Structure 1
């Protein structure tokens, strides 16, 4: 398996992996979200997992803001992430996250947030955002699902409220459904 940064040539295959992994109507929503996030955030970072020339996994990291007391801070949100159904439970998602976080570390990103299952993401270095003094962007988001990982560019003054990119709101993709 090869992990690498996404290119424009990967967009269709990554969209189909997302659609298949989420399935049905939810898969269609996630595919639309993926396209809209790429359109609306010029700083997005995508990672693909490829095996035998086929994209088998994909994760997108988009820009959001942390409304900190002294100023707004560019942070990233991990969403969406997917692995082809026939390749799930083989460590692909874990490796996508690790590779993506390493890229963001190199780029000086201080924090990465997500909405997700704490049983899964805690094993990837994430912990509840509220435990670190961060405020979630919506009451629809369960406290335990609002998670963060601090990278080395993080500084103690970086606290406050996560403000999602408008795209998540436009497509009603805030809060676990």
Structure 2
């Protein structure tokens, strides 16, 4: 299996994968969100797990903002992460996350935020956002699910409220409903 940057040729396979991984109506919405994020964030970073020409995993990072006391700070949001249902628990998600963290560190990104299961994401160093004085962008996000990973570009004065790219709101993909 190879982890590599997503290419336009991967888009149809990624859409099918995301739809299957998230399931039902929600899967269709998340697949549409991925397409919209590509459109709305021209500098997005997306990576695929390619197993012999088959896309079996996908992760996307998009530019969002931290509303810090002195200025807006560009940060990244990890969303979504999808692994083919038949290939889960094989380390594909882990490999995608690790690859993305390495790439974003190399690009001097200070922080990666996400909404997700703390038991899963804490394995890679994500911590609850409130422990570093970050505020979540919506009350619909459970406190434990709002997580952040400081990268080497992070400085303690970087604190404030995460501001999602409008696309997450447009597709109602913020927090729990």
Distance in 1, Cα, partners of 2:10 & 2:74 = 26
Distance in 1, Cα, partners of 2:176 & 2:43 = 25
* Structure 2 residue ranges without an equivalent (≥5): none
Instruction: Give runs of aligned pairs for residues 1-177 of structure 1, distance below 5 A.
Output: 1-177=1-177
Length-normalised TM-score, structure 2: 0.98
Length-normalised TM-score, structure 1: 0.98
Distance in 1, Cα, partners of 2:28 & 2:53 = 24
Distance in 2, Cα, partners of 1:176 & 1:64 = 20
Structure 2 residue matching 1:161: 3-state secondary structure: strand
Q: Is the 8 A contact 1:116 1:176 kept in 2?
A: no
Structure 1 residue matching 2:100: 3-state secondary structure: helix
Over the residues paired in the alignment, what is the CA RMSD in angstroms? Answer: 0.7
Cα deviations by residue, 1:97-129 (Å, 9 ceiling, x for unpaired): 000110000011000000000010101210100
Cα deviations by residue, 1:150-169 (Å, 9 ceiling, x for unpaired): 00011111100000000011
Distance in 1, Cα, partners of 2:78 & 2:8 = 19
